[in-house]
Chains A and B, each alone.
Chain A
Amino acid sequence: MKADCENFILLLQEHSETVLDDAHKEHLASCANCRRLLEIHDRSFARLKQGFTLSASAREAILGKVQKMIAEEKSSKSRSSDFSLAFWLRSWRLQISFAAVLFMLMAGLWYSGKSQPDNTMQISGSATILKNFKKIALENTLIQLETGEKVTILNGRVDLCWQNSEKVSIDGMLDFAVQENNIDAKSGQATLTFLPAAAGYIITTRLMLVKILGTTVVLELSDNQDAISVIKGKVEWSLLDGTEKREVSAGTKMIVTRHPEGLKVTEDICQKEIPESSSNQLLEVGAKKTGNKWTPLEKN
C-alpha cells in the first residue's frame, strides 16, 4: 500500500464525516482503490445510519413503557408503605394503645405541673414568729406562707423557702411579707444570708430596692432610715423610686435617710463579718416591738 493510501485510511479513521483537502483530492484522482474505498465507506455507513435509527413509533412506544414502569413503581412504593403501616398497626396495636395512654397521662401531669406555677413559700427554723398576729414557735417545723402574708420574727433564725427550696436565712428581728421572688421588708434589724439559688431575688424596703447577686446582708430599718450592709458578695442597690442605682460590694453600707427636703443617700463602710450587735445578739436575747421600733429584750 502506498504512503498516500495509508494517509487516506488514517483520514477515514479520524473523522466521522469525510472532508477532503486538496492533497487527498489529488490522491483520489489518481488512485482507483481509494476512490472505491471511499465509495464503499460512505455507502456502508449511510446504510448503517439507517439501520441504527429508532423510528418515531418505536420511540414513542418505548417512552410509554418507561412511563408505565415509573408509574407502577411509584404506586407499589405507596402501597408497600401503606401495607407496612397497616401491618405495624395491626401487630403492635396493644402496645401502641398502652403507649398512647401512658403518653397522655405523662402529658397531663406535665401540663398540670407547668400550667400551675409553684408559688409555695414556707418558713422554718428555730425562732418565734408572729404570723397573722398569732405567735408561733418554730422548732424546725415547716409552715406554709401565703403571698403577701405578714410575718414578724420576734427572735431566732428562720429559713425562707420558695418552690420547696431554701433561698434565704434571716437572723434578727424583721417585719416582712413574702412575695414571689421578693421580700418586702417593713422594719427591723436582721442579717439576711441568701443562697446562690436566690440570685435575682429582691428585697424591697420603704426607701430602697436591693437585687441579690449572691449575698449576705444586714438590714437595719427604722422610722426614717433604711440601711443595708453588704457582708458577703454584692447587691444591685437602688432607691425605690429608681433615681439612684449602683452595684454595692461587700464591706459597703448604704444608708438612706428621709429628710423634709427629700431622701439622702450615704455610703459608708462596714465590716465583712456579721456585727455582734445586729442579729446574733438579738437572736440570743430576743426583742420586743413598740410601735414601729424594735428593742432588744433583756436576758431572762
Chain B
Amino acid sequence: MSYRNLEVDSEFLLSLKRQDNKAFETLFHACAGLVFSIALSLLGKRSAAEDAVQEIFFKAYRALPDFKGEKLASWLGKIAHNHCVDLLRQTNREVSTTSVPVEDLHLHQSNSAVDELPDFINALSETEREVVILKKVEGLSYKEISLLTGKKEGTLRNMVLKCLQSLREIVDES
C-alpha cells in the first residue's frame, strides 16, 4: 500500500486523532515507504534509516491528537525530514569534534555515502540526494517536495538538474 492509495476520510482522521491502533497501522503501512526513502536519502545508511523510521512513527503517534487535518503524507514527511535533519546536525557536531586531515575533507560531497548507490547519487549532498529521491523514486511533484523540505521549487529543480548533468557527464565520458 502506498500513501497515494490512502483513503483519508473524516472517520479515519478521527480514529487517528484518538490514537486508534488499527488506524495507526494503516497509516504506517501506507507511509512507511516514503518515510524510509526520506530517512535513507538523508542518513545514507539502511540500518540508521530503519531506526529513524521507528522513531519518526513513534513521534508521529504522539503528535496525532494535535494533527490539524493537513495532508497526512505531507505531515508525516515533514516530521521525517526534520527528524533526520536533526540527526544529521547531531552527527556533524560529533564529527566536527574529531580532527580530520584537510585532504580527507570532500567539500560539497555527502558525509554519508549510501552503500551500493551509483556515484552520481553519492556525489550529491544529503539534501540534494533527498530531493532527487523524492522526485525520481517517490514521484513527488516539486510543490510536494517544497512543502516537505521548505525549499523553493526553483531550487529543487536546480538540484535535480545538477544530478542529471552528472549523468550526462558519465555519458559523455563513455
| A residues adjacent to B (C-beta < 8 A) | 9-10, 12-14, 16-17, 33, 36-37, 40-41, 44-45, 47-49, 51-54, 58-59, 61-63, 65-67, 69-70
Contact = CB atoms under 8 A, between A and B. Distances in A.
A51 B117 contact: yes
Given A41-B167, A69-B58, A48 B136 contact: yes
Nearest to B141: A16
B61 A66 contact: yes
A9 B164 contact: yes
A285 to B, nearest CB: 85
Given A48-B117, A52-B40, A70-B61, 15 more contacts: A12-B164, A14-B157, A16-B139, A36-B174, A40-B171, A48-B121, A48-B133, A48-B136, A51-B117, A52-B33, A54-B32, A61-B50, A63-B32, A66-B28, A67-B21
A44 B36 contact: no
Interface string B131-143: 0010111111000
B167 A44 contact: yes
Contacts of B40: 51-52
Nearest to B142: A14
A9 B165 contact: yes
B116 A51 contact: yes
B7 interface: no
16 contacts: A9-B161, A9-B168, A10-B161, A13-B161, A33-B172, A37-B171, A45-B137, A47-B118, A48-B121, A51-B117, A54-B33, A62-B57, A63-B28, A63-B32, A66-B54, A66-B57
B25 interface: yes
A48 B167 contact: no
Contact of B164 (A41, A53, A59, A65): A41
B161 A36 contact: no
The 9 closest A-B pairs by CB, nearest first: A16-B139, A54-B36, A66-B57, A36-B171, A45-B136, A69-B58, A52-B37, A65-B54, A37-B171
B114 interface: yes
Interface in B98-135: 114, 116-118, 120-121, 133, 135
Contacts of B21: 67
B6 interface: no
A52 B140 CA distance: 15
Given A63-B28, A66-B58, A40 B170 contact: yes
A48 B57 CA distance: 24
B151 interface: no
B119 to A, nearest CB: 10
B89 interface: no
Contacts of B114: 51
A58 B172 CA distance: 39
Interface string B143-174: 00000000000000100110011011011101
B133 A52 contact: yes
A69 B21 CA distance: 13
Contacts of B58: 66, 69-70
A211 to B, nearest CB: 57
Contacts of A40: 167, 170-171
Interface in B13-30: 21, 25, 28-29
B53 interface: yes
A52 B164 contact: no
A13 B157 contact: yes
Contacts of A70: 58, 61
A101 to B, nearest CB: 41
A66 B57 CA distance: 7
Contacts of A48: 117-118, 121, 133, 136-137
